[in-house]
Structure 1
Amino acid sequence: MKYWKQMWSACVLFPLVACGGGNQSNAQTEQASVGTDSVNQVVETILARRSVRKYKPQPVEREKMQTIVECGVNAPNAMNRQPWEIRVVDNPDFINGVTELYKKEQPKAAEDPNFKNMFRNAPTVVFVGRDVQSGSAEFDCGLLSENMMLAAQSMGIGSCCLGSPAAFMRSPAAAEYLKQLGFSEGYELLYCIAFGYPDEAPAAKPRDLTKIKFVE
């Protein structure tokens, strides 16, 4: 049992340590706190993360986004093929321009008085592309994205993984903007993630712990 607790702790700590979230000494300190009365910052970050859908207008500083995406690319992935590409956009002209096209296709969206852009009003958007030849790409990109969202949470930055805006980006109406992202040949946009400073504090939604079972 002690062995498995140590292994679990190491797996939880790895993402933030790998992307510069702490040195070896700090990692050992965090490991020692698992299962004790001390607060484990990694576990706390995971349990505190929420999907944020309301943001303050200022974009996330680029040096912070650089740290966030570096945490992403340090995610585990099959055979270290890293079957992803990342594009970070904080240019209002891009975000507002593609939003105008979206509003023409989805006029009801603009009826919301709080609607500013199609990315949940986020000022910074990360677009994640996958290698279409990789059978593990979707799984690997999921790990990449979770690393980014947890890193953002640890820095006081909110996030929300978005599927519908990515679907619009892949449509003929947004072809010009998709081209601007410059994904390599053989890669396609999988989804996007909104990032920004939260302007809301969503409550935790219930989780069904009955779906967890230990097999003897």
Structure 2
Amino acid sequence: MKKVLSILLAGCCVCSLISCGQSAQKDTTKAGTEEAVQSVQVENSVVETIMTRRSIRQYKPQAVEREKMQTIVECGINAPNAMNRQAWEVRVVDNADYINGVTELYKKANPKVAEDPTFKNMFRNAPTVVFIARDTQSESSPFDCGLLAENMMISAWSMGIGSCCLGTPARFMRSPEAAEYLQKLGFSEGYELLYCIGFGYPDETPAAKPRDAAKVKFVE
């Protein structure tokens, strides 16, 4: 009889705890919600990686190991894309002669950049550069390429590898001055270089820049 009574009491306690938990959940305040979100950020490695990633513009000199870049690129091409057309092409360059050669042309066209004592190359000093081209016949290709790039940058950060998405170098690569170097990338006909991403091991720890959370609203 005592055992049965103990079981009944334990069951009542469990029900009481569940009831209290449900009540507390309903009464969650804004501050409590924020604490919960912060807790998820700490406990969830994916969320933590996204929230801690920073754009890096100063790198250590060594290129990223090709095995790691292979993983990063595979994460990229597994991004969502319209109707699985995969309307992108990707080229990875860690050849210092290529990077320095096109940088010299960039410096001739933009001599002021060399006045910056921290300037090493036109790809924000990155030792490894990924070039992403889009299929010009696909309206969704710019969005698809953006998703691809985000996957690569997030996966890289999870491995301690920094990155910076670059538009200006891509524009220069499409100019007549850099035609030879663009040709070396060997993109297929009908594909256009959209942008570049510099990758490397960070040699700086930039602080987070503020985000305007007020731009996000839930619609009832």
Structure 1, unmatched stretches of 5+, are 1-32
C-alpha displacement at 1:35, in angstroms? 6.8
Deviation at 1:34, TM superposition (A): 10
Q: Is the 8 A contact 2:41 2:48 kept in 1?
A: no
Tell me which residue corresponds to 1:163: 167
Which 10-residue stretch deviates more, 38-47 or 158-167? 38-47
Per the alignment, in what secondary structure is the counterpart of residue 187 of structure 2?
Answer: coil
Deviation at 1:115, TM superposition (A): 1.0
| CA distance, structure 1, for counterparts of residue 93 and residue 73 of structure 2 | 12
Rounded Cα–Cα distance in structure 2 between residues aligned with 1:37 and 1:106: 42
**C-alpha displacement at 1:77, in angstroms?**
0.3
Q: Which residue of 1 aligns with 2:126?
A: 122
CA shift digits 1:89-108 (9 cap, x unpaired): 00000000000000100000
- 8 Å CA contact retained: 1:84, 1:137: yes
2:97 maps to: 93
Distance in 2 separating the partners of 1:175 and 1:43: 40
CA distance in structure 1 between the aligned counterparts of 2:63 and 2:180, rounded to whole angstroms: 23
Question: Structure 1, residues 115-150: CA drift from partner, whole Å, max 9, x if none?
Answer: 110001100000000000000000000000000000
2-structure distance, mates of 1:183, 1:37: 39
> How far does residue 114 in structure 1 lie from its aligned partner after superposition?
1.4
Report the number of matched residues.
Answer: 184
TM-score, structure 2 length as denominator? Answer: 0.82
Unaligned runs of 5+ in 2: 1-36
The residue number in structure 1 matching 2:199 is: 195
CA contact (8 A) 1:34 1:40 kept: no
Aligned to 1:143: 147
Q: 1:203 to 1:77 in 2, by over 3 A?
A: same
**1:55 to 2:59 alignment:** yes
Q: Which has the greater radius of gyration? A: 2
Q: 1:75 deviation in Å?
A: 0.1
What is aligned with 2:216? 212
Contact kept? 2:40, 2:47, Cα under 8 Å: no
Q: After the TM superposition, which residues 72-91 of structure 1 pair with which residues of structure 2 at under 5 Å, given as runs? A: 72-91=76-95
Please state how far the C-alpha of 1:179 moved relative to its aligned partner.
Answer: 0.1
- Is it true that 1:109 corresponds to 2:110 in the alignment? no
Quote how far apart the aligned CAs of 1:210 are: 0.3
Aligned to 2:43: 39
Give the SS at the match of 2:50.
helix
Shift of 1:113: 1.4
SS in 2 for 1:206: coil
Q: Secondary structure at the match of 2:146?
A: helix
More helix by share: 2
CA-atom RMSD, angstroms? 1.5
